[in-house]
Amino acid sequence: MFYIHQTSCISPQRTFGDIDIDTLQDPVDKKFYAIEPSYEGIPPGVLRRMGKAVRMGVGAAMPLLKDTAAPDGIIIGTATGGKEDCIKFLDQIVKYDEGMLTPVNFVQSTPNAVAAQVSLLTKNRGYNITHLQIGLAFEFAVIDADMMLTENPGNSYLLGAVDDISINNYYFEDKGGWYKKEEVTAATFYEANSPGSLAGEAACMFLVNGTETGCIAKVEAIDTLHGSEESAVKEKLQDFISKHLPAGETIDLLLTGENGDNRLLNYYSSCESVVNDSVTIARFKHMSGEYPTATGMGLWLGCHILQHQSIPAHMVKKPGAATKYKNILIYNTYKGRQHSFMLLAGA
């Protein structure tokens, strides 16, 4: 696969600037809103015209590109990025009877606005693509980066995941029963035995290439599965581990996207049963909330754990025997229909 050399994350936790993931930040109005920084490096005139998803994506990307050679491409995964501006533009069409419309909402109403803005601000004319496979959008961006590096081993790419909480999308998801009705905090996120999760958002960026020297971590393998059969998910994970885990190596940490929705708990329990008792089991969506590209937050946290060799106590569901984290398996499902498995190894 490929190596991760730099990471950046704007999320509902303190993951940007002065990083502190030991202290939990609570949701507001049952939503995990991202803690937005001052966005240094983005011209104020440009920043004013950016929608939230674009702001977050560009804001997370710029620090990685400030003191390094321009990447050979930009690969972004998103499901809801640009949706808020799209709705605003459609509302204007009705309100002004297709008259004088604000061009900003139109320009930023497409999901590729994040990759486009990063490209424009950094004058990057390389490969530029946005993946939109809903709950597997970031996973397909990772696969794309791997394919590009296989073909061009000397290149480097900006890889990212961006999603925000848009008002209209929140309304539809809430009506669909995907969000909790009761109030929960970050600390009690997994205690409520009820359907639904809490909405979340984040922008996670990674500078990746095929060079091992100086890397933070290596993405060893990734695989995906469409379907709702619990047995198929378990079998897929067993095959994934046996196929991709190097001989003599063991999983030290299983990091899951368990999201507090009791309708999806069986998938996570099945995956936990695959690994042996010595494996530490941890989860992260009490930090990020639920959103389609949450695996990006899981990957950022995995890199942070490998880099610092420590994991916050609030993330641990079941402690294991490992004294050093080397191999991390990340499992996530979106609505029980889209599943992904990612193997991350330390440098």
pLDDT value of residue 109:
61
Q: For 196-260, give the DSSP string.
A: -B-EE-EEEEEEEES--TT-SEEEEEEEEEE---HHHHHHHHHHHHHHHSPTT----EEEE---S
pLDDT value of residue 110:
72
C-alpha span between 2 and 76 (Å, rounded): 16
pLDDT value of residue 86:
67
Q: For 286-314, give the DSSP string.
A: HHH-B-TTTHHHHHHHHHHHHHHT---GG
HSE-CB of 243 using CA atoms within 13 angstroms: 12
Q: What is the mean pLDDT of residues 107-115?
A: 78
Q: Provide the pLDDT confidence category of residue 10 given band limits of 50, 70 and 90.
A: very high
Q: Is the C-alpha dihedral spanning 33, 34, 40, 46 positive or negative?
A: negative
Q: Is the C-alpha dihedral spanning 108, 113, 118, 122 positive or negative?
A: negative
- Summarised one tens digit per residue, pLDDT across range 273-317 is 999 999 999 999 999 999 999 999 999 999 999 999 999 999 999
- Summarised one tens digit per residue, pLDDT across range 310-344 is 999 999 999 999 889 999 999 999 999 999 999 99
The region of weakest confidence among 7-11, 85-89, 188-192 is 85-89
Provide the phi-psi class of 82: left if phi over 0, else alpha when psi is between -120 and 50, else beta: left
Of 236, 159, 112, which is closest to residue 1 (Cα–Cα)?
159
> Higher pLDDT residue, 166 or 191?
191
C-alpha span between 295 and 159 (Å, rounded): 13
pLDDT value of residue 248:
83
Q: 308 Cβ partners below 8 Å, 6+ apart?
A: none
Q: Provide the pLDDT confidence category of residue 104 given band limits of 50, 70 and 90.
A: low
The region of weakest confidence among 82-91, 141-150, 151-160, 249-258 is 82-91
Q: What is the mean pLDDT of residues 203-225?
A: 97
- How crowded is residue 305: how many other Cβ atoms within 10 Å of its Cβ? 24
Burial of residue 273 (CB within 10 Å: 0-12, 13-18, 19+) is exposed
Q: Coil, helix or strand for 144? A: helix
> Higher pLDDT residue, 151 or 94?
151
pLDDT value of residue 51:
87
pLDDT value of residue 48:
87
Q: What is the DSSP letter of 134?
A: G
**What is the residue whose two structure tokens read 């599943």?**
339
High-pLDDT (> 90) share of the chain, %: 82
pLDDT value of residue 108:
62
C-alpha span between 111 and 134 (Å, rounded): 11
Q: Provide the pLDDT confidence category of residue 82 given band limits of 50, 70 and 90.
A: low
Question: Is the pLDDT score of 161 beyond 90?
Answer: yes
Q: 333 Cβ partners below 8 Å, 6+ apart?
A: 135, 233, 257, 264, 267, 268, 339, 340
Question: Is the pLDDT score of 106 beyond 80?
Answer: no
Q: What is the mean pLDDT of residues 176-200?
A: 96
Q: Provide the pLDDT confidence category of residue 67 given band limits of 50, 70 and 90.
A: confident
Question: Is the pLDDT score of 224 beyond 70?
Answer: yes
Burial of residue 35 (CB within 10 Å: 0-12, 13-18, 19+) is middle
Tokens (6 digits) for 171 = 């309304």
Question: Is the pLDDT score of 19 beyond 70?
Answer: yes
pTM of this prediction?
0.93
Q: Coil, helix or strand for 89? A: helix
Burial of residue 213 (CB within 10 Å: 0-12, 13-18, 19+) is exposed
Domains and CATH numbers, the chain: 2-209 (3.40.47.10), 217-346 (3.40.47.10)
Of 47, 59, 74, 69, which is closest to residue 11 (Cα–Cα)?
59
C-alpha span between 106 and 281 (Å, rounded): 44
CA-CA-CA-CA dihedral for 211, 217, 222, 226, to nearest 10 = -140
Q: In what order do the strands lie in the sheet with 127-131?
A: 127-131, 73-77, 156-163, 202-209, 2-10, 217-226, 338-346, 327-334, 253-256, 280-283, 316-318
